[in-house]
Structure 1
Amino acid sequence: MDDNEIPDNNPLENLVDGITTLATGIPAPLRKNFWKAVGQLCTAAVDVPVSYFEGQSALRRANTESRVQLIKRISDDMTDKISVPEIYSDLAIEKHASKIIRFQGNLDQITHQAANIIITNDSITDDIDEISEEWLNEFEQNAQTKSSDEMRLIFSRLLAGEISQPGSFSIRTIKTLSEFDQNIALKFRNLCSLCITIKDNEKVIAGNIPYFDSLDTYLKTLSRYEISYEDLILLNEAGMITADFHTKISYGSSVINSVEKLPVRFFYNNKRYLLEPIAKNGSYDDDILNLLGISLTSSGKELYNLVDIVENFDFSKDLNYYMNSKGLNIIEI
């Protein structure tokens, strides 16, 4: 085979074919956003349909070719002005090219995974805003460096969420996530397994990790849930949780009471719950449902829905015991 010949099983070609095939399953309201993201993030081999962005593919190729020529001219000028052995300049070019290819491969894989996620999303609305170029620019710069399967999956969920509902994730959250590594991601997942949240549709508007006894025993209790004080410091520095242990969330509105307005669901372990008095016409003190604890930051709330939460059975047991001791049952709905 000639060195310049592309093999039949070329992985890039297969990936491009895969994205094009997946795009046919993207819900109609999201296709414009999807192709806009593909046009910026994916390899130039992907042709964005003319029906969505007339002339954009040609412009992208023209820009790419112009950059190649410009880089070549700069490289030639530098070689002329700086006396560098040819072997070093060749190695530098090869290393830079390898880096570009690796970064592009990460973006292609993330976009491909995002397409798969969007296809399975059954909560698409018809009124979708356009995804912003500033957001895509920031996403591209940070996602391209992610090579681990775990981090690429998180970034693909981030992209799928923003394509489906622009504005779901802030640029600050992208920057926060860019500082993640597998260790921080694992600790954040462990923390989210203890988090009780209140949501508006799918957006987390409040979330904390409550304590059921006293602040004095809080850290000791968290260690039983495999969360250390060092973990809290790391997650606070990563921008996921606040440093305040006294953030209050009231769950009084989640108690089923036929006389008053409909109760507000709370979420734990990816399930929806309400509170029901154990005794008929039983009473309870509202203060007992004002639970204090560590709170998620704005970025932490946005990223909460991207995490694969694994139930912490010790915490679940303690949560049920606390509510039962206050005359309430936790009811899954």
Structure 2
Amino acid sequence: MTKIQNLSSQQRLRQLAKSQLGHEFIQSTVTHSHESAVPKQEQIAISNHSQLRHLTSQVTASNEQSNAVLQRAMRRQEMQLQRQQLNLERVLLLTQDMLPDQHSREEVDSDWFEHFCQLVQDISAAPMQKLWAKILAHEIQQPGRFSFKTLNILRQMHYRDAQALQLAASMASRLNGQQPEQIFFGYSMQASVWRWLQGKHKGVLNLSQHQLTYPDILSLVDLGILHQTEIETGALNRQQDLLFMTTQHSRQGRVLQAGLVLHYYKFTLSGSELLSLLNVLPEPQYWAALTSLLQDVIEFPG
């Protein structure tokens, strides 16, 4: 358990600075000038030799200060290189534990691996290191599985983004095997007077009730994991068979009325590549709510 320290804001700042810079804060060398108490006549009488000695001491102090700054900069750079090396080694060790004891016929592209190493050296969070290790393990077993674009997307992700991706993965499915995966959230019926009178021409599921908030969706869109716009299926036919396929199960359904249109968010190709890394179970409450929403327009056996 991490010990919680009760520190002031200044102490927090000094603590962060030391972890990044490798030293305590250097006290400001700027001093407030005070008006000299020496009479003006005596100031004029200062000898040229004294002025030269004063200037020399200033230059010496300036050089010493510059050397100290340079040493601190070199120390900071050294610490950064050490952190980057440790991050890379941790990911490689995690990858080693994930790889099965089997041969791979193809080699990983050298440019791909160099790019991978450049990106992963600045990843310090353990959950993200594990995700990067999974990518490398999969790439070693099946070279070409992950694109440069997918690596760049993952590099931009923070831990909260990864959590949003996991939530989205628990709601993802493939309708009749279509790729990439989709997240269904509503339906509408093609316009007719009778349907409007019935008042059952559309239905929408609030995904935020299942922890996938609209800001999370926008974040996944900005990262390039989801497409920017909501997408609709074409108008489905009456008695048309549907199959919602997830990583763990499939759910069959049959359209009850012609003109049904389903609404969904669609993963990009890079988003689909990232989904393959996640062993996420379908979110039962979401699927129960979606089934309940669609039961007036789709018949689900059982």
Q: What's the TM-score bracket when you normalise by the shorter of the two chains?
A: 0.5 to 0.7
Structure 1 residue 303 corresponds to structure 2 residue 274: yes
Query: What is the Cα deviation at residue 320 of structure 1?
Result: 3.8
Distance change >3 Å, CA 230–CA 310, structure 1 → 2: same
Q: What does residue 289 of structure 2 align with?
A: 318
Query: What is the Cα deviation at residue 217 of structure 1?
Result: 5.4
TM-score (norm 2): 0.63
Structure 1 residue 94 corresponds to structure 2 residue 75: yes
Query: What is the Cα deviation at residue 127 of structure 1?
Result: 7.0
The structure 1 residue matched to 2:144, chosen from 160, 163, 167, is: 167
Q: What does residue 55 of structure 2 align with?
A: none
Q: What does residue 93 of structure 2 align with?
A: 112
Q: 1:187 is matched by which residue type in structure 2?
A: A
Q: What does residue 55 of structure 1 align with?
A: none
In structure 1, distance between residues paired with 2:176 and 2:143: 18
In structure 2, distance between residues paired with 1:308 and 1:153: 13
Q: Deviations over 1:191-222 (max 9, x none)?
A: 1111113798xxx932111124349754x611
RMSD of aligned Cα (Å):
3.5
Q: Do 1:157 and 1:306's aligned partners in 2 also have CA atoms closer than 8 Å?
A: yes
Query: What is the Cα deviation at residue 321 of structure 1?
Result: 3.7
Q: What does residue 208 of structure 2 align with?
A: 223
In structure 2, distance between residues paired with 1:313 and 1:154: 24
Q: What does residue 244 of structure 1 align with?
A: 229
Q: Do 1:113 and 1:153's aligned partners in 2 also have CA atoms closer than 8 Å?
A: yes
| Off by >4 Å, runs of 4+ in structure 1 | 214-217, 249-252, 283-288, 322-325
Q: How does 1:177-256 map to 2 (within 5 A)?
A: 177-197=154-174, 205-214=179-188, 218=204, 221-248=206-233
Structure with higher Rg: it is 2
In structure 2, distance between residues paired with 1:286 and 1:113: 52
Q: How does 1:41-52 map to 2 (within 5 A)?
A: none
- Secondary structure (helix, strand or coil) at the match of 2:250 reads strand
Q: 2:228 is matched by which residue type in structure 1?
A: A
Structure 1 residue 294 corresponds to structure 2 residue 265: yes
Distance change >3 Å, CA 138–CA 145, structure 1 → 2: same
Query: What residue ranges of structure 2 are gaps of 5+ in the alignment?
Result: 1-62, 190-201
Distance change >3 Å, CA 323–CA 128, structure 1 → 2: farther
Query: What is the Cα deviation at residue 306 of structure 1?
Result: 1.6
In structure 1, distance between residues paired with 2:72 and 2:96: 36
Q: Deviations over 1:7-49 (max 9, x none)?
A: xxxxxxxxxxxxxxxxxxxxxxxxxxxxxxxxxxxxxxxxxxx
In structure 1, distance between residues paired with 2:234 and 2:165: 20
The structure 2 residue matched to 1:275, chosen from 242, 247, 252, is: 252
Q: How many residue pairs get matched?
A: 225
Query: What is the Cα deviation at residue 310 of structure 1?
Result: 4.8
Query: What is the Cα deviation at residue 296 of structure 1?
Result: 0.4
Q: 1:210 is matched by which residue type in structure 2?
A: F
Q: 1:222 is matched by which residue type in structure 2?
A: L
Distance change >3 Å, CA 247–CA 119, structure 1 → 2: farther
Identity across the alignment (%): 19
Q: 2:229 is matched by which residue type in structure 1?
A: D
Q: What does residue 52 of structure 2 align with?
A: none
Query: What is the Cα deviation at residue 319 of structure 1?
Result: 3.7
- Secondary structure (helix, strand or coil) at the match of 1:293 reads strand
Distance change >3 Å, CA 92–CA 130, structure 1 → 2: same
Q: How does 1:50-129 map to 2 (within 5 A)?
A: 85-119=66-100, 128-129=105-106
Q: Do 1:128 and 1:166's aligned partners in 2 also have CA atoms closer than 8 Å?
A: no
TM-score (norm 1): 0.58
The structure 2 residue matched to 1:147, chosen from 120, 124, 129, is: 124
- Secondary structure (helix, strand or coil) at the match of 1:307 reads coil
Distance change >3 Å, CA 168–CA 101, structure 1 → 2: same
Query: What residue ranges of structure 1 are gaps of 5+ in the alignment?
Result: 1-81, 257-264, 278-282
